[in-house]
Amino acid sequence: MPLLFTRCFFMTKEMYEKLTLPRHIGIIMDGNGRWAKQRGLERSEGHKAGANTFRRICDYGAELGIECMTFYAFSTENWKRPVKEVEAIMNLFRDYLNEAHDREDENESKGLRIRYVGEREGLPQDIISLINTLEEGSADKKTTVNIAVNYGGRNEILHSVRKIAAQVEAGELKAEDIELKNIEDNLFTAGLPDPDLIIRPSGEYRLSNFLIWQAAYSEFWFSDILWPDFTEDDLDNAIIEYCKRNRRFGGV
């Protein structure tokens, strides 16, 4: 029985077997700057702490057997932040990609597949090269980890629509034949299930342009916890709350 449920004294094996765990969990990693400010630290220190939390929660999700996890790390709007902070975030992303490459065997044993979600244009060229190398070597694993950097939900939909428009212009597709699946097949998350559960810590109650197409029927879990303080217990609580909900998808 997964560790999640061994910590829940009321959960029997029979109860666990009846549960339907989320296949895909989206997490908005929010509150790093406030966490640092509360401690009199530079905002970059908050992002470092948040990166460590990301690693822990990523590993724990794989341990639980979650099929897919998408972490919102840096939005298309975040480029407006101070240059020093943006550079610090990009350096952390760069460090993680290098580390993931060095830990390829370890990730293999954990069944982790790393994917990038977002616009490549605008990222430093060395980061794009690291992304390409990492994605090539991490296919067909138990748990897909999407890292959303330079990502925006509206831009993602625009990206999909432009690809469909190009098909129409080339005579490969008729406008009247366009279906929802055409849009979904051209999103950055093509081939992955929509998020069943979206988690946002830090006391904010909005999506902030995260997976806005895919989140049409997602369940939400909000918390005042700042992301660097987010623990495995908090993920447990979110999943247990999700399992209590009745998902009708517009039915009765």
Question: In this predicted model, what pLDDT tens digit does every residue of 116-156 receive, in sequence order?
Answer: 999 999 999 999 999 998 887 656 668 999 999 999 999 99
Instruction: Enter the tokens of residue 68.
Output: 């897919």
**CA-to-CA distance for 197 and 215, rounded, in angstroms?**
9
**Structural Rg of the chain based on CA atoms:** 19
Q: How far apart are CA 85 and CA 102, in angstroms?
A: 26
Roughly how many angstroms between the first and final C-alpha of the chain, as a whole number? 32
- Out of 30, 107, 186, 236, which one is annotated catalytic? 30
Residue with tokens 């990609």: 97
Domain for residue 170, yes or no?
no
Whether 13 maps to a domain, the answer reads no
Which amino acid makes up residue 13? K
**Does residue 2 lie in a domain region?**
no
Active site residue 209: no
- Would you say residue 187 lies in a domain? no
CA 107 to mean position of chain CA atoms = 17
Residue 129 lies in domain: 21-155+194-243
Task: Answer for the pair 26, 199: CB distance below 8 angstroms, yes or no.
Answer: yes
Distance separating alpha carbons of residues 249 and 252, to the nearest angstrom: 8
- Residue by residue, pLDDT tens for the chain (252 residues) are 455 555 554 555 565 556 789 999 999 999 999 999 999 999 999 999 999 999 999 999 999 999 999 999 999 999 999 999 999 999 999 999 998 888 777 777 788 888 999 999 999 999 999 999 888 765 666 899 999 999 999 999 999 999 999 999 999 999 999 999 999 999 999 999 999 999 999 999 999 999 999 999 999 999 999 999 999 999 999 999 999 988 887 766
| Distances in whole angstroms, Cα of residue 110 to Cα of each of 26, 114, 116, 173, 203 | 19, 12, 18, 41, 32
Query: Number of structural domains, the chain?
Result: 1
Q: Is residue 25 part of a domain?
A: yes
CATH number, domain of 109, equals 3.40.1180.10
**Token pair recorded at residue 226:** 């700042």
Residue 35 resides in a domain:
yes
pLDDT in tens, 218-239: 999 999 999 999 999 999 999 9
For residue 91, indicate whether it is catalytic. no
Coarse DSSP helix, strand, coil percentages of the chain, rounded to the nearest 5 percent: 50, 15, 35
CB 85 within 8 A of CB 43: yes
**184 within domain boundaries:** no
Question: 89 lies in a domain?
Answer: yes
Give me the catalytic one of 32, 52, 59, 78: 78
